[in-house]
Structure 1
Amino acid sequence: MKRFIPSVIAAAIILSGCGGSSSSNSVDNTTLEVHAIKPADVADYIENYTQSAAQLNVQIDGHNSAIELLDFDMDEGVIYIRYDLGVIVLGFDFEGEKPKQEVAVITNQNTEQALHGENLQLSEQNENFVIEGQLVDNISGNLHTFNMTFNESLISGGNSQLVVKNTAAELSGTLGSKTYVQFRNLALDHPSVNRIIFKSVDGSVNDDINMHTGRLIHQAQYTTVMPADGEAYSGGVDLYAAGIKKEYQTGGKLGVHAWCCEGDKDAGQLSKSHSAHGAQLTYFREILGQELGPEFYFFTINAAPADDIYLMTQAEINKYFF
Structure 2
Amino acid sequence: MNNPFKKQQIIVGALALLVLAVAIFNRPDTGDGELHFDVKGERAYVYGTTDSASAGAVDALIRENPQVDTLVLKYMPGTVDADQNLRLARSVRKNRLKTHLERNSRIASGAVDLFLAGTKRTMDCGAQIGVHSWSIAGLETYEPKNDIFDARQRRQEGFLRDMGIDPAFYVFTRDAASPQELHILSPEEINQYNLLTEPLSC
CA RMSD of aligned residues (A): 2.7
Pairwise mapping of residues 52-131 of structure 1 onto structure 2 (< 5 A)? none
Kept after mapping to 2: 8 A contact 1:14/1:306: no
* CA distance in structure 1 between the aligned counterparts of 2:57 and 2:86, rounded to whole angstroms: 14
Paired with 2:180 and 2:140, the residues of 1 have a C-alpha distance of 12
Q: Does 1:165 align with 2:40?
A: yes
Spell out the pairing of 1:226-245 with structure 2 (5 A cutoff). Answer: 226-245=101-120
The answer on whether the counterparts of 2:55 and 2:85 sit within 8 Å (CA) in structure 1 is yes
Deviation at 1:261, TM superposition (A): 2.5
Whole-Å separation in 1 of the counterparts to 2:46 and 2:150: 33
What residue in structure 1 maps to residue 17 of structure 2? 13
> Counterparts in 2 of 1:183-198, with a 5 A limit?
183-198=58-73
C-alpha contact (below 8 Å) 1:166/1:193 kept by paired residues: yes
For residues 192-227 of structure 1, what are the alpha-carbon distances to aligned partners after superposition, in whole Å with 9 as ceiling and x for unaligned? 111100110011011110001000011111111110
CA distance in 2, matches of 1:4, 1:10: 16
Deviation at residue 187 of structure 1 after TM alignment: 2.0
Mapped partners of 1:271, 1:242: distance in 2: 28
Distance between the aligned counterparts of 1:283 and 1:11, measured in 2? Answer: 26
CA deviation vs aligned residue, 1:24-80 (integer Å, no higher than 9, x gap) = xxxxxxxxxxxxxxxxxxxxxxxxxxxxxxxxxxxxxxxxxxxxxxxxxxxxxxxxx
Partner of 1:279: 155
Q: Is the 8 A contact 1:229 1:252 kept in 2?
A: yes
CA contact (8 A) 2:17 2:78 kept: yes
TM-score normalised by structure 2 residue count: 0.77
Q: Would the aligned equivalents of 2:47 and 2:73 in 1 still touch at CA under 8 Å?
A: yes
Q: Distance in 2 between the 1:236 and 1:198 partners?
A: 8
Contact 2:140–2:179 (Cα < 8 Å) also in 1 = no
Higher helix share: 2
CA contact (8 A) 1:259 1:266 kept: yes
What secondary structure is seen at the aligned counterpart in 2 of 1:229? strand
- Counterpart selection for 1:270 from 144, 152, 176: 144
Deviation at 1:15, TM superposition (A): 9.2
Q: Confirm or deny that 1:249 pairs with 2:114.
A: no
Return the alpha-carbon distance in structure 2 between the equivalents of residues 197 and 212 of structure 1: 19
Contact 1:15–1:235 (CA under 8 A) maintained in structure 2 = no
> Alpha-carbon deviation of 1:255?
0.1
Figure out how many residues of one structure are paired with residues of the other and give that number: 175
- 1:288 Cα deviation (Å)? 2.6
Letter in 2 for 1:159: E
Matched, 1:259 2:134: yes
Q: Secondary structure at the match of 1:318?
A: helix
Letter of the structure 1 residue corresponding to residue 83 of structure 2: D
Match for 1:190: what amino acid? N
State how far apart, in whole Å, the 2-side matches of 1:274 and 1:179 are: 25
Q: Is the 8 A contact 2:157 2:168 kept in 1?
A: no
Larger Cα Rg: Structure 1 or Structure 2? 1
Does residue 311 (structure 1) correspond to residue 184 (structure 2)? The answer is yes
Distance 1:287 1:15 in 2: 28
Q: Deviations over 1:97-126 (max 9, x none)?
A: xxxxxxxxxxxxxxxxxxxxxxxxxxxxxx
Name 1:34's counterpart in structure 2. Answer: none
**Inter-partner Cα distance in structure 1 for 2:19 and 2:82:** 9
Q: Give the gaps of 5 or more residues in structure 2.
A: 1-5, 21-32, 197-202
Query: Are 2:9 and 2:137, in contact at CA under 8 Å, matched by a contact in 1?
Result: no
Give deviations 1:230-255, integer Å, cap 9, x for gaps.
11010011111111111110110100
| Matching residue of 2:170 | 297
